[in-house]
């Protein structure tokens, strides 16, 4: 499968519950978890931080991850982030 020109293979999803944490912790913890995940994996991030709707998409663009979805939930916000098969050089 290819999303936005980047390969993404179906892999198991991992859920990261970051409810109650404030900026910058949701981004820092998401970055750390994604760095240890296999390429093609998806990370579901759940957060109550109102700034996450700005911070998480920006983090994905800057670090080369794929923001697959972003939606409000009853308890905050839920993001699905994909780790592409090829990460950009930093």
Q: Which domain holds residue 72?
A: 2-82
Q: Which of 14, 16, 21, 23 is catalytic?
A: 23
Nearest Cα residue to 3 out of 72, 88, 79, 85: 85
- Whether residue 17 lies inside any domain: the answer is yes
CATH code assigned at 62: 3.30.110.40
* Active site annotation includes 23: yes
Number of domains in the chain: 1
Of 5-14, 45-54, 79-88, the range with the highest mean pLDDT is: 45-54
- Whether residue 63 lies inside any domain: the answer is yes
- Whether residue 25 lies inside any domain: the answer is yes
The separation between CA 4 and the C-alpha centre of its own chain, rounded to angstroms, equals 15
What pLDDT, on a 0 to 100 scale, did the predictor assign at position 72? 96
> For residues 35 and 9, which has the higher predicted lDDT (pLDDT)?
35
- Whether residue 87 lies inside any domain: the answer is no
* Banded model confidence at residue 1, pLDDT cuts 50, 70, 90: very low
pLDDT at residue 62 greater than cutoff 70: yes
- Whether residue 77 lies inside any domain: the answer is yes
């Amino acid at each position: 499968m290819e999303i936005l020109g980047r390969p993404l293979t179906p892999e198991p999803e991992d859920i990261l519950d970051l409810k109650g944490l404030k900026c910058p912790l949701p981004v820092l913890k998401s970055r750390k978890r994604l760095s240890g995940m296999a390429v093609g994996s998806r990370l579901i991030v759940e957060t109550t931080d109102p700034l996450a709707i700005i911070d998480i998409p920006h983090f994905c663009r800057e670090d080369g991850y794929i923001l697959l979805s972003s939606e409000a939930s009853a308890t905050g916000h839920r993001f699905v982030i994909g780790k592409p098969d090829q990460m950009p050089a930093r």
